[in-house]
Structure 1
Amino acid sequence: MKLLGWLLRAAFFLLVFALALNNQTPVVVHGLFGTRWEGPLALVLLIVLLLGVLLGVLVMVPLWWHARRQARLSSTPTSAPPPAAASPTPSPASRPQPDLPDAV
């Protein structure tokens, strides 16, 4: 199974690599205030992908910190909870049965 996973990863890498080699056409990226940058299409797409991932991580960091803080606060009890009183479990016959529609 591990071999199949590595083969799929290698095939995906070769596909992306072939697409990058086929997209070497220079493109012009027009920025703010008249700035321009010219580079290969594959490089521009890679940079945009990495910037998107970085922006997503930066947006999620405060949420992760908040969740970790909440988990840490809830995992450290201030005092031991009282032991639960032993209650007998009801027998199956005493449990209420759900109402089922009549068969036609």
Structure 2
Amino acid sequence: METNSVDKITKAKKRVKELKGFYTHLTIYIFINLFLMVAKLVGSHFYGNAFMGPFWHFSTFATPFFWGIGLSFHALKVFRKNPFFSKKWESRQIRKYMEKDRKEAEKYK
């Protein structure tokens, strides 16, 4: 009984650590990308559209896009959402392999 409660506490601590990591990641994402956007807007206002060259223009908008993809995968992992390998998919695979094993066993009878 006592080990069960210890396991629950350990799982809960791990879950809280995962959530804290995600929210830290999200906070950093927001602040860094806000800084990039504000720097681009202010710099463009004072120095024109050529502010820091074409690479800066690309990276200003590519950073939130590609980082956002990574952040989305992080969220899927933390919130236990897996659109590719759901519980339904797992049960279908288990049934498929059990049926295959049953057929092989019948073949050798």
Asked whether the two chains share a fold, i.e. TM above 0.5, the reply is no
Higher relative contact order (CA 8 A, sep 6+): 2
Structure with higher Rg: it is 1
Higher helix share: 2
TM-score under structure 1 length normalisation = 0.31
